[in-house]
């Protein structure tokens, strides 16, 4: 909405890189600590790579402006909960109830297929970008989640994202595309807030609950569009919206183990 109201404020690799770098610098100023041993810390490297992948993954369509449609990218990113669940289970070495955790992401994709036009798969490069979007985002989030918490975890993730996005900006420049938006400062500020919130929320929620955004945000946008159109809604669209809602709620609900832990802690506090 902001990009449409103010041309030139849309996200680019340059604005996203500047935003992530600014957010990382602000965190260093707010939480100043010694940097000794930072480069040798394997967990920070894991956080940096994870942050780079999960923040840059949804923006990979910027490598081919106009080549990947927004609806196709939305459908592809709806598979992020599936990739995240599998990747996190593989990294933690825990595969219990894995099959039962995959259905919300698949339901979200099915719902979007009922509502949005089916994407064209005629261009191999665009198809590769659609595959990479959920894979990079899901694997990056899994890397970040499985890294041990350190005092520089947030900053490492943002710095890693800034470096990778800067590389993306260089690729766009090499293609002789315009990389600097007319309102770079506004775009970078919005990108900084989004990147910081992405990492903060993932650090405080489970991977499944974090990935609910890829079902709930399209649902809210579609409901807004239907409200503005004020036309009769076909049954196919209603079915797709219901699937999206069910998938989003299923992802947003806390895991059974987490619910039991919270219930046990509440009982202990009540006993005390």
pLDDT tens for each residue of 34-53: 444 444 467 788 889 999 99
Tell me how long the chain is.
272
Instruction: Read off the tokens for 45.
Output: 């490297």
Contacts (Cβ under 8 Å, ≥6 apart) of 152:
33, 35, 38, 41, 44, 47
CB count, 10 Å around CB of 14? Answer: 24
Angle at which helix 103-115 crosses helix 235-252, to 10 degrees, equals: 150
Asked whether the beta carbons of 187 and 12 are under 8 A apart, the reply is: yes
Is the alpha carbon torsion for 221, 228, 70, 74 positive or negative?
positive
Question: pTM for the complete prediction?
Answer: 0.83
At 239-268, the pLDDT tens digits run 999 999 999 999 988 665 554 444 454 454
The CA distance from 198 to 215, in Å, is 15
The CA distance from 10 to 1, in Å, is 10
The whole-chain average pLDDT of the chain stands at 82
What is the reported pLDDT for 151? 63
At 70-84, the pLDDT tens digits run 889 999 999 999 999
Asked whether the beta carbons of 143 and 84 are under 8 A apart, the reply is: no
Name the least confident of 50-59, 60-69, 109-118.
Answer: 60-69
At 170-187, the pLDDT tens digits run 888 777 655 565 677 788
CA distances for 187 relative to 6, 61, 75, 232, 249, angstroms: 10, 17, 25, 37, 31
CB count, 10 Å around CB of 265? Answer: 10
At 139-156, the pLDDT tens digits run 999 999 988 776 688 888
The CA distance from 207 to 85, in Å, is 7
């Amino acid at each position: 909405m902001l990009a449409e109201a103010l041309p030139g404020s849309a996200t680019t690799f340059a604005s996203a890189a500047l935003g992530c770098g600014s957010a990382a610098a602000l965190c260093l100023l707010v939480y100043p600590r010694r940097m000794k041993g930072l480069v040798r810390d394997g967990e920070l490297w894991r956080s940096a790579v994870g942050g780079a992948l999960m923040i840059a993954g949804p923006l990979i369509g910027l490598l081919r402006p106009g080549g990947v449609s927004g609806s196709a990218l939305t459908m592809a990113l709806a598979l992020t909960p599936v990739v995240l669940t599998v990747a996190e289970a593989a990294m933690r070495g825990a595969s219990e109830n894995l099959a039962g955790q995959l259905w919300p992401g698949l339901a979200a994709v099915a719902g979007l297929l009922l509502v949005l036009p089916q994407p064209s798969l005629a261009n191999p490069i665009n198809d590769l970008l659609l595959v990479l979007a959920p894979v990079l985002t899901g694997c990056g989030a899994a890397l970040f989640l499985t890294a041990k918490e350190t005092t520089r975890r947030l900053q490492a993730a943002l710095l890693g994202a800034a470096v990778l996005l800067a590389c993306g900006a260089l690729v766009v420049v090499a293609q002789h595309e315009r990389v600097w938006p007319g309102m770079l400062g506004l775009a970078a500020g919005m990108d900084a807030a989004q990147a910081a919130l992405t990492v903060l929320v993932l650090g405080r929620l489970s991977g499944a609950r974090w990935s609910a955004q890829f079902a709930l945000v399209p649902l809210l946008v579609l409901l807004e569009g239907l409200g503005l159109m004020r036309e009769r809604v076909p049954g196919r669209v209603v079915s797709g919206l219901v699937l999206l809602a069910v998938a989003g709620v299923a992802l947003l609900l806390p895991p059974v183990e987490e619910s039991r832990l919270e219930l046990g802690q509440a009982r202990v506090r009540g006993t005390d």
